[in-house]
Amino acid sequence: MLTVLIAVASAIAGTLATSFAQLLADRRRQALADRRDLADALATLLAAVLRQCETQWLKVAAAREQRPDTPEARVIRYAARTAASTAVDRLMMTTADPDLLAAAQKALDAANELGDIELGPAGAAGRFTPDVEAQLTSLRSRTRRTRTALRALGVARIRRI
């Protein structure tokens, strides 16, 4: 009888150990998948925000050179803005981290604000009014700062997974 009880206890212990090992392996696989998904979403967002800024700065450069805005350039800018918004949406579906989502929104908002500045005509030296130049300088700094903050926070979150 004792032999049977020991055999049953051994079988139960073996099953529990196997189940526990499987649970740990499943959690590790899920953590790696979550890490990869977050890294992909962040890389896409950072690239999209950078592209959004690039298209807006190209608009500013064209205006400084007194070149007219073209329908093709507007399509490119709108596509970049849509891609950046879509990348934020993807990040929202990947994580619920409020700090990371807030940093993403700040980076997107700063990039979008570049397109909201009323440039007006550039002078002969390619300069806008002092107020517009001040806005551009401020946003240049803010877009860099918010994108850097998003990247740093994202890297920290990815390493934590």
* pLDDT level of residue 20 (50, 70, 90 thresholds): low
pLDDT tens readout for residues 111-146: 999 999 999 999 989 999 999 999 999 999 999 999
Say if CB 95 and CB 38 are below 8 A apart.
yes
What is d(CA 12, CA 160) in angstroms, rounded to the nearest whole number?
35
Indicate the CATH number for domain 37-160.
1.20.120
Is the pTM higher than 0.75? yes
Residue 113 has a pLDDT of: 96
